[in-house]
């Protein structure tokens, strides 16, 4: 075997061990070395040259990037996730049957969908969705994300929260926690418009807080305009559209003059 | 997708050598003669550098399309390129040798007039185009693929503005032959290179055509991200061809729909459907399908007339029933329709959009409830919406809350009592609202008028010199021909 491939494989072994030990500094360090090494292989995207060891190299590179993605989730680094995922993506979409599909493919694609959802990048979410086959959409990992998006759009937030208990993969928990925060903000936004007031107890339940103290901290921080009075939370109502008391004469004159000008031009 | 529909009515049954030999020869001779006229037209166009004439030549060719046979092609090639020239030899490999009758025509017509003269690149490319169209019409797609690649390679070495019109047609058939054989991904790099060349040479028609082909190529594989990136960065200019512009609008509409920019998408799709020629039925059906979905997603209900357009009732039927389900706001009905026509929606690749619609069905249902009841308990709301989940009441409460925030309904929730109170709709005429609506409509009409005036075209030099009687005759004749062939061209293009 090519000595470079052997070297990369060995380094990859150490990288995996570092991830298992949760030794983040070492693993990021090793990952950068691995990425530099991968640039030397000609069989990888975008060149896709047919070398004798290309199958091995492709599989290795895909493995490395898959681990990199998982590592970025564990380190809770969303930017790194995005970078690594985009590097990984060609191995799923463009290899054209050179290597067998990876068992990690759907979990990672689902994870990416979830990330887009958390970051509220719905347009990209749907763009990614179009790329998936109908078989892929049936996969539990993908389906999970798709259903989440639907519940989210509908406003069935409690379904989103229940989904946290049924995550198809351990790595999903990080994003689900983030999603819970987004959901709280959404619920707060909706309640503000939908209710005149809520009892503190109901508000606490709805906004998923365990104690009244957390609730009041949250209100102070995010919605200082809400008012807590006699055990109730009062939301500030947006001003209603008032019936116009007077005729906006200046505006009307302007409009009429412009009509006259335009008509003059036509006739 | 669109192409498939189109092609069906274009392809002619392979011309059989019938028993009526003399008639056959006569016909062949007539077609070859008209092709020669076209060649002469291209020649004048090339010398006078008048792109217009070449465009006309292409239109005339399309009219002859159904009459092309092996012997016609061979006869014409011998005439145009000379029987023994190098260019002729390159083409010979792709056109089957003649039957005996054809040969007679050849010798009779070509007779020493052509072989020695200098070969124009326009004529050569025209021959390429002719052969390619012929191969596609004969359904020899493998051959067409190989041949079109060879033609494109030849084309790259030419840089003449008068070739551009022919080249853009050639690109189109090039991509088409690859699409039919299902190898569209292969030529993506090549198309990108061609687009770059066209841009560098300021060949706007070529750019337009190639951009559309690229978008089509990306969308064929659902690569919306790449398509949008290319589209937003490619240079834009005033459209040269109505057909290309229609296509562009359609692709743009599709991209926008996927990216949830429904208002823009609707505008693009409706415009595409309106601008497309009447004969392009397949294309218009596609536009209408997408436009219907986008309007539903926007919360609008398309009018019944859209589904009753002539020749489209059947194709739009699934979408009509879908609209109906959304209009009523019945989740159960929506689910049945979606399942019933699942195969149609899958082939149209609109399945994901329909999944998105679920949310709109709930909204409409909710709006109906809010209009009919001034106060209703959330339990009843959940029942009426037929929400099937573990905790329908909590779901209903959240859904209603979100609908209120998004402005879909005007109501308040009472959590303690568990009901929804609809607000009285105030007297809208006591506000400035109607006046503003009226103003925006007037502005729209005035703007439309101004744009129409601006779009009027005045022929140059009309005020300078009176055209001579002869010139006028020529012009009128040309106009007539143009009018006659525009319909045929549209037939061909879509």
Structure tokens at A119: 């970051």
In three-state secondary structure terms, B131 is helix
Q: Which of B406, B426, B446 is the last residue of a domain?
A: B426
A98-105, Cβ contacts within 8 angstroms, sequence gap of 24 or more: A98/A48, A98/A54, A98/A55, A98/A58, A99/A55, A99/A58, A99/A59, A99/A62, A102/A62, A102/A63, A102/A66, A104/A66
Residue B166 has pLDDT above 50, yes or no: yes
In three-state secondary structure terms, B379 is helix
For A118-165, what is each residue's pLDDT tens digit? 888 889 999 998 888 888 888 888 888 888 888 888 888 888 877 877
Residue A28 DSSP symbol: H
Any bridge partners for residue B419, and if so which? B377, B414
**Interchain contact, A157 vs B346, CB within 8 Å:** no
pLDDT at B12: 40
| Chain A CB contacts of B402 below 8 Å | 154-155, 186, 190
* Alpha-helix residue ranges (DSSP H) falling in B141-277: 141-156, 164-180, 188-200, 204-220, 224-233, 242-258, 262-275
**Does B46 reside within a domain?**
yes
Contact between B361 and B330 (Cβ < 8 Å): yes
Contact between B61 and B125 (Cβ < 8 Å): no
Q: What percent of chain A has pLDDT over 90?
A: 12
**Interchain contact, B442 vs A259, CB within 8 Å:** yes
Comparing CB atoms, the residue among A154, A186, A196 nearest residue B399 is A154
Contact between B94 and B135 (Cβ < 8 Å): yes
| Chain B CB contacts of A134 below 8 Å | 346, 351
pLDDT at B9: 40
Residue B97 has pLDDT above 70, yes or no: no
| Chain A CB contacts of B394 below 8 Å | 158
Comparing CB atoms, the residue among A126, A193, A198 nearest residue B415 is A198
**Does B348 reside within a domain?**
no
Rounded CA separation A206/B378 (Å) = 16
For chain A, list the domains and their CATH numbers. Answer: 3-196 (1.25.40.990), 197-241 (no CATH)
Comparing CB atoms, the residue among A127, A202, A262 nearest residue B225 is A127
Residue B185 DSSP symbol: G
pLDDT at B16: 44
Sign of CA dihedral A229, A234, A238, A243: negative
**Interchain contact, A244 vs B430, CB within 8 Å:** yes
For B375-425, what is each residue's pLDDT tens digit? 899 888 888 888 777 778 888 888 888 888 888 888 888 888 888 888 876
- Most B CBs within 10 A among A89, A96, A193, A259, hence the mutation to make, goes to A193
Structural domains in chain B (count): 2
Task: Flag whether residue A260 sits within 8 Å of chain B, measured between CB atoms.
Answer: no
Rounded CA separation B323/B70 (Å) = 50
| Chain A CB contacts of B427 below 8 Å | 243
B282-287, Cβ contacts within 8 angstroms, sequence gap of 24 or more: B282/B1, B282/B2, B282/B4, B282/B5, B282/B6, B282/B494, B283/B2, B283/B5, B283/B6, B283/B246, B283/B247, B283/B250, B283/B494, B284/B309, B284/B312, B285/B5, B285/B312, B285/B315, B285/B316, B286/B1, B286/B2, B286/B250, B287/B250, B287/B253
Residue B159's contacts (CB-CB under 8 Å, 6 or more residues apart) are B201
- Most B CBs within 10 A among A130, A163, A205, hence the mutation to make, goes to A130
Residue B483 has pLDDT above 60, yes or no: yes
pLDDT at A83: 92
**Interchain contact, B416 vs A255, CB within 8 Å:** no
**Does B124 reside within a domain?**
yes
Q: Which of B151, B181, B211 is the last residue of a domain?
A: B181
**DSSP notation for A71-122:** HHHHTT-HHHHHHHHHHHHHHHHTSTTSSPPPTTHHHHHHHHHHHHHHTT-H
Task: Flag whether residue A191 sits within 8 Å of chain B, measured between CB atoms.
Answer: yes
**DSSP notation for A29-62:** HHHHHHHHHHTT-TTSTTT----TTHHHHHHHHH
Structure tokens at B277: 């020629």
Structure tokens at A23: 């030794």
Contact between B365 and B384 (Cβ < 8 Å): yes
pLDDT at B461: 61
**Does B152 reside within a domain?**
yes
Q: Calculate the alpha carbon distances from A90 to A68, A94, A98 in Å.
A: 15, 5, 12
Q: List b or e across B181-214, with b for residues whose CB sees 16 or more CB atoms inside 10 angstroms.
A: eeebeebbebbeebbebbbeeebbbbbbbbbbbb
Comparing CB atoms, the residue among A155, A159, A244 nearest residue B402 is A155
- Residues B214-228 have a mean pLDDT of 92
In three-state secondary structure terms, B1 is coil
Cα torsion for A33, A34, A38, A44, to the nearest 10°?
Answer: -150
| Chain A CB contacts of B413 below 8 Å | 194-195
**Does B488 reside within a domain?**
no
Q: Are strands B411-414 and B375-377 parallel, antiparallel or unpaired?
A: unpaired
Measured between CA atoms, how close is A5 to chain B, in angstroms? 30
* ipTM exceeding 0.90, yes/no: no
**Interchain contact, A153 vs B359, CB within 8 Å:** yes
Q: Calculate the alpha carbon distances from A11 to A15, A70, A260, B34 in Å.
A: 6, 17, 79, 72
Higher-confidence position of A108 and A214: A108
Residue B17 has pLDDT above 60, yes or no: no
**Interchain contact, A191 vs B261, CB within 8 Å:** no
Residue B487 has pLDDT above 70, yes or no: no
pLDDT at A177: 84
Cis omega (within 30 of 0) for bond into A46 = yes
**Interchain contact, A194 vs B389, CB within 8 Å:** no
**Interchain contact, A190 vs B404, CB within 8 Å:** yes
Nearest chain A residue to B357 by CA distance is A150
For residue B419, the enclosing domain spans: 373-426
Name residues 123-162 of chain A within 8 A of B (Cβ): 123-124, 126-127, 129-131, 134, 146, 150, 153-159, 162
Which secondary structure element, helix H or strand E, spans residue A212, and what is its range? Answer: helix A212-222
Higher-confidence position of A6 and B253: B253
The pLDDT confidence band at residue B2, using thresholds 50, 70 and 90, is very low
**Does B247 reside within a domain?**
no
Rounded CA separation B97/B197 (Å) = 35
Comparing CB atoms, the residue among B405, B415, B439 nearest residue A189 is B405
**Interchain contact, A191 vs B401, CB within 8 Å:** yes
pLDDT at B488: 59
Task: Flag whether residue A257 sits within 8 Å of chain B, measured between CB atoms.
Answer: no
When mean pLDDT is compared across A236-245, B239-248, B296-305, B362-371, the lowest value belongs to A236-245
Residue B3 has pLDDT above 50, yes or no: no
Comparing CB atoms, the residue among A158, A194, A242 nearest residue B391 is A158
Comparing CB atoms, the residue among B259, B355, B401 nearest residue A194 is B401
Rounded CA separation A112/A64 (Å) = 17
Question: Domain of B390: which CATH number?
Answer: 1.10.10.10
Of the candidates B58, B71, B69, the residue with the CA atom closest to the CA atom of residue B14: B69
Higher-confidence position of B3 and B22: B22
Residue B359 has pLDDT above 70, yes or no: yes
| Chain A CB contacts of B378 below 8 Å | none
**Interchain contact, B395 vs A158, CB within 8 Å:** yes
Rounded CA separation A12/A28 (Å) = 12
**Does B122 reside within a domain?**
yes
- Residues B81-88 have a mean pLDDT of 76
- Residues B14-32 have a mean pLDDT of 66
Which secondary structure element, helix H or strand E, spans residue B412, and what is its range? Answer: strand B411-414
**Interchain contact, B405 vs A190, CB within 8 Å:** yes
**DSSP notation for B284-331:** HHHHHHHHHHHHHHTT----HHHHTSTTTHHHHHHHHHHHHHHHHT-H
**Does B313 reside within a domain?**
no
| Chain A CB contacts of B389 below 8 Å | 156, 159
Alpha-carbon Rg of chain B, whole angstroms? 29
Of the candidates B205, B285, B267, B289, the residue with the CA atom closest to the CA atom of residue B242: B205
- Residues B193-203 have a mean pLDDT of 90
When mean pLDDT is compared across A32-46, A213-227, B80-94, B201-215, the lowest value belongs to B80-94
In three-state secondary structure terms, A258 is helix
Measured between CA atoms, how close is A69 to chain B, in angstroms? 21
- Residues B223-243 have a mean pLDDT of 88
Rounded CA separation A248/A134 (Å) = 57
Of the candidates B398, B178, B482, B443, the residue with the CA atom closest to the CA atom of residue A153: B398
The pLDDT confidence band at residue B173, using thresholds 50, 70 and 90, is very high
**Interchain contact, A129 vs B352, CB within 8 Å:** yes
Comparing CB atoms, the residue among B224, B415, B432 nearest residue A195 is B415
| Chain A CB contacts of B403 below 8 Å | 155
Nearest chain B residue to A147 by CA distance is B355
In three-state secondary structure terms, B254 is helix
| Chain B CB contacts of A199 below 8 Å | 415-416
| Chain B CB contacts of A262 below 8 Å | 446, 449-450
pLDDT at B102: 40
Q: Which of B147, B181, B215 is the last residue of a domain?
A: B181
């Amino acid at each position: 075997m090519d000595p470079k491939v052997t070297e990369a494989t060995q380094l990859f072994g150490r990288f995996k061990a570092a991830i298992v030990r949760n030794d983040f500094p070492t693993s990021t360090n090793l990952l950068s070395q691995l990425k530099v090494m991968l640039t030397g292989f000609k069989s990888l995207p975008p060149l896709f040259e047919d070398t004798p060891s290309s199958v091995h190299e492709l599989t290795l590179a895909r493995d490395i990037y898959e681990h990199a993605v998982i590592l970025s989730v564990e380190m809770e680094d969303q930017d790194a996730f995005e970078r690594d995922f985009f590097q990984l993506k060609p191995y799923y979409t463009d290899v054209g049957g050179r290597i067998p599909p990876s068992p990690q493919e759907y979990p990672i694609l689902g994870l990416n969908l979830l990330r887009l959802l958390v970051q509220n990048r719905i347009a990209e979410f749907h763009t990614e969705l179009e790329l998936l086959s109908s078989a892929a959409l049936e996969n539990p990992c993908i389906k999970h994300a798709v259903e989440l998006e639907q519940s989210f759009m509908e406003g069935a937030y409690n379904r989103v929260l229940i989904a946290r208990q049924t995550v198809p993969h351990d790595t999903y928990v990080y994003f689900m926690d983030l999603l819970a925060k987004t959901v709280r903000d959404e619920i707060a936004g909706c309640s503000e418009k939908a209710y005149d007031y809520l009892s503190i107890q109901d508000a606490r339940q709805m906004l998923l807080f365990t104690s009244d103290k957390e609730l009041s901290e949250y209100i102070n921080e995010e919605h200082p305009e809400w008012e807590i009075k006699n055990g109730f939370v009062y939301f500030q109502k947006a001003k209603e559209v008032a019936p116009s008391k007077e005729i906006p004469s200046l505006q009307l004159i302007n409009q009429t003059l412009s009509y006259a000008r335009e008509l003059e031009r036509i006739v | 997708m669109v192409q498939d529909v189109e092609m069906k009515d274009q392809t002619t049954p392979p011309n059989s050598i019938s028993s009526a030999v003399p008639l056959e020869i006569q016909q062949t001779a007539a077609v070859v003669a008209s092709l020669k006229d076209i060649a002469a037209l291209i020649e004048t166009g090339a010398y006078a550098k008048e792109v217009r004439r070449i465009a006309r030549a292409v239109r005339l060719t399309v009219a002859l399309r159904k009459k092309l046979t092996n012997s016609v092609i061979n006869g014409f090639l011998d005439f145009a390129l000379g029987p023994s020239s190098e260019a002729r030899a390159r083409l010979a490999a792709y056109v089957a040798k003649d039957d005996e009758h054809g040969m007679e025509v050849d010798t009779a017509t070509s007779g020493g007039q052509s072989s020695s003269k200098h070969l124009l690149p326009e004529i050569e490319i025209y021959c390429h185009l002719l052969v390619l169209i012929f191969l596609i019409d004969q359904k020899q797609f493998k051959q067409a693929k190989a041949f079109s690649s060879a033609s494109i390679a030849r084309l790259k070495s030419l840089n003449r503005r008068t070739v551009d019109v022919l080249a853009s047609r050639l690109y189109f058939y090039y991509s088409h032959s690859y699409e039919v054989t299902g190898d569209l991904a292969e030529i993506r790099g090549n198309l990108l290179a061609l687009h770059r060349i066209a841009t560098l040479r300021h060949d706007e028609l070529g750019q337009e055509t190639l951009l559309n082909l690229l978008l089509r190529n990306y969308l064929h594989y659902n690569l919306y991200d790449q398509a949008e990136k290319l589209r937003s960065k490619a240079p834009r200019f005033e459209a040269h061809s109505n057909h290309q512009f229609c296509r562009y609008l359609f692709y743009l509409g599709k991209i926008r729909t996927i990216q949830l920019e429904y208002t823009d998408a609707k505008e693009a799709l409706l415009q595409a459907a309106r601008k497309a020629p009447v004969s392009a039925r397949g294309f218009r059906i596609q536009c209408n399908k997408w436009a219907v979905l986008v309007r539903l997603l926007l919360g609008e209900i398309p009018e019944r007339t859209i589904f009753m357009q002539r020749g489209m009732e059947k194709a739009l039927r699934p979408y009509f029933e879908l609209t109906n389900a959304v209009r009523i706001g019945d989740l159960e009905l929506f689910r049945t329709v979606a399942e019933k026509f699942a195969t149609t929606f899958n082939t149209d690749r609109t399945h994901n959009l329909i999944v998105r619609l679920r949310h709109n069905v709930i909204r409409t249902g909710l709006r109906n409830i809010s209009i009919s009841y001034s106060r209703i308990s959330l339990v009843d709301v959940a029942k009426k919406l037929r929400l099937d989940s573990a905790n329908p009441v909590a779901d209903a409460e959240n859904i209603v809350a979100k609908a209120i925030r998004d402005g879909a309904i005007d109501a308040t929730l009472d959590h303690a009592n568990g009901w929804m109170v609809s607000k009285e709709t105030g007297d809208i005429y006591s506000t400035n609202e109607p006046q503003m609506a009226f103003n925006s409509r007037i502005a729209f009409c005035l703007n439309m008028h101004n744009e129409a005036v601006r779009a009027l075209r005045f022929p140059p030099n009309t005020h300078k010199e009176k055209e001579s009687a002869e010139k006028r005759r020529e012009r009128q004749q040309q106009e007539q021909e143009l009018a006659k062939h525009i319909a045929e061209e549209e037939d061909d293009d879509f």
